[in-house]
Amino acid sequence: MQRLKVGDLVQVISGKDRGKQGRVTKLLLDEGKAVVEGVNVVTRHQRPTPRNQEGGKVTKEAPIYACKLMPVDPTTGKPTRVHVRVGEDGKSQRVAKSGSVITQG
């Protein structure tokens, strides 16, 4: 089971965006990266094309290494480590240090 899933609320623990929180929108498992809303925003200079008549500056979120992200504990609101536990129904659950189950979204 993965530490991060799409829809999780995460906090950046290192880098230029340290301390920012956002939701995971995309996971790039092969590269070990994730795209997070409002984090690692880059500006691309677009040349005018037949599709995009305007061109100009376009801002978008770039992928960030997953090791720089920590899930946020739903009870305390602070970043926390995660471990996997088998629940009563036999399915595995991600559990925060406080003991609360981390749910998606």
Q: Is residue 55 part of a domain?
A: yes
Q: Is residue 14 part of a domain?
A: yes
Between the two ends of the chain, the Cα-to-Cα distance in Å is: 17
* CATH at 92: 2.30.30.30
Q: Is residue 72 part of a domain?
A: yes
Torsion 72-74-80-82 (CA) sign: negative
Q: Is residue 69 part of a domain?
A: yes
Tens-digit pLDDT profile for residues 16-40: 999 999 999 999 999 999 999 999 9
pTM flag (> 0.95): no
Q: Is residue 104 part of a domain?
A: no
Q: What are residue 33's DSSP bridge partners? A: 28, 65
Q: What is the mean pLDDT of each run of 10 residues along the chain (105 residues)?
A: 90 96 96 96 92 88 96 93 88 90 77
Q: Is residue 73 part of a domain?
A: yes
Assigned token pair, 78: 């602070």
Assigned token pair, 65: 């290494």
Structural domain containing residue 58: 9-96
Q: Into how many domains does the chain fold?
A: 1
DSSP conformation letters of 47-68 = PP-SS-SS-EEEEEEPPEEGGG
Q: Is residue 80 part of a domain?
A: yes
Q: Is residue 24 part of a domain?
A: yes
Q: How far from chain centre, in Å, is Cα 1?
A: 16
